[in-house]
Amino acid sequence: MSQGEVWELSGDRLVEVLATLASPHRLRVLAALTDGRTYVSQLARDLGISRALLQVHLKKLEKAGLVTAHLELSPDGKALKYYEATPFSLHLTPDVVAVAATTLSTAGDGDAAPKGNS
């Protein structure tokens, strides 16, 4: 299950996604959401972390497009923010990396000299 389409990413986006996934907390959050959707406070309790912290990570995950959120009214009228994992499929190989690297904008990172520099 959770078979998404293979992602096409620009270098910048790839870096963003990788950076987002490269965190134990976010990995756990994503795992928990893959397991089923929940709302923030509940998730924070499940993972044993503070809401403030969780929210930061959720925002980063959302920004990277790995999770989506939507408000929902609980039966007793409370506004709950439910998050759920976005299916994705990212096949990483040296070639993929090589291609992505050519599309890096990376402002301030110093543009490398054009290839063919032998």
Chain contacts with DNA (rule: CB under 7 A): 19, 23, 25, 39-42, 49-53, 55-57, 60, 76-81, 108-110
Judged by beta carbon distances under 5 to 8 A according to partner kind, the member of DNA, a copy of itself, none in contact with residue 78 is DNA
With respect to DNA, which residue has the nearer C-beta, 1 or 107? Answer: 107
Judged by beta carbon distances under 5 to 8 A according to partner kind, the member of a copy of itself, DNA, none in contact with residue 5 is none
Rounded to whole angstroms, the Cα distance separating 108 from 65 reads: 25
Helix, strand, or coil here: 100?
helix
CB of 60 to a copy of itself, least distance (A): 12
CB of 24 to DNA, least distance (A): 7
Rounded to whole angstroms, the Cα distance separating 42 from 93 reads: 37
> 């293979």: which residue's tokens?
6
With respect to DNA, which residue has the nearer C-beta, 9 or 61? Answer: 61
Helix, strand, or coil here: 115?
coil
Sequence-ordered list of residues with C-beta below 8 angstroms from that of 34, at least 6 positions apart, any chain: 2, 85
Which helix (H) or strand (E) segment holds residue 83: the answer is strand 79-85
Judged by beta carbon distances under 5 to 8 A according to partner kind, the member of a copy of itself, DNA, none in contact with residue 8 is none
